Amino acid sequence: MNEAAAGAEDRPERGHIAKAAALVPGLAHLLEGRRRAGLSLLALALVTLAVLVFAIDRVAATFTTGRVDYWVALVTLIGAAAVAWGVGFREALGGPRARAKGVSQWAIAWREFSRNRVAVLGLYLMLTLYLATLLAPYLTPYEPNTIGDMATTRHLSPSLAHLMGTDKFGRDVFTRVLYGARISLSIGLIAVSISVTLGTVVGAASGYFGRVVDTVLMRFVDMFISFPRLVLLITVIALFEPSIFTVIVVLGLTLWPSTARIVRGEVLSLREREFVEAARALGLSGARIICRHIIPNVLGPVIVAATLGLGNIILVEAGLSFLGLSVQPPTPSWGNIIEGGREYLVQAWWVSTFPGLAIVVTVVAFNLIGDGLRDALDPRQRM
Residues that bind other proteins (CB under 8 A): 219-220, 222-223, 225-232, 234-236, 238-240, 311, 315, 318-319, 322-323, 325, 335, 338, 342, 345-346, 349, 352-353, 356, 359-360, 363-364, 367-368, 383
165 or 311: CB nearest other proteins? 311
End-to-end Cα separation, the chain, in angstroms? 34
CA distance linking residue 208 with residue 222, whole number of Å: 18
Minimum CB separation of residue 319 from other proteins in Å reads: 5
Q: Which is nearer to other proteins, 3 or 222 (CB)?
A: 222
* CA distance to 33, 76, 86, 133, 178, per residue, from 83 (Å): 20, 10, 5, 18, 23
Helix, strand, coil percentages, rounded to 5, for the chain: 75, 0, 25
Q: How far is the CB of 113 from other proteins (least distance, A)?
A: 17
CB of residue 186 to other proteins, shortest distance in Å: 18
Q: How many contiguous H segments (helices) and E segments (strands) does the chain have?
A: 20, 0
CA dist 251 and 249 (Å) reads 6
Q: Give whichever of 146 and 235 is closer to other proteins, judged by the CB atom.
A: 235
Alpha-carbon span 121 to 40, nearest angstrom:
12
CB of 107 to other proteins, least distance (A): 22
To other proteins, the closest distance from the beta carbon of 338 in angstroms equals 6
Taking the complex as a whole, the smallest distance from the CB of residue 318 to other proteins amounts, in Å, to: 5
User: How distant, in Å, are the alpha carbons of 200, 207, 208, 267 from that of 298?
Assistant: 9, 12, 12, 7
Nearer to other proteins among residue 16 and residue 211 (C-beta): 211
Residue nearer to other proteins on the CB measure, 111 or 342:
342
Cα(269)–Cα(207) distance, integer angstroms: 9
Residue 323: other Cβ atoms inside 10 A:
17
Rounded least distance, CB 366 to other proteins, Å: 8
Length of the chain: 383
Cα 322 to Cα 233: distance, rounded to the nearest angstrom: 13
Residue 128 or 353: the one with the smaller Cβ distance to other proteins is 353
Pick the closer one to other proteins by CB: 84 or 359: 359
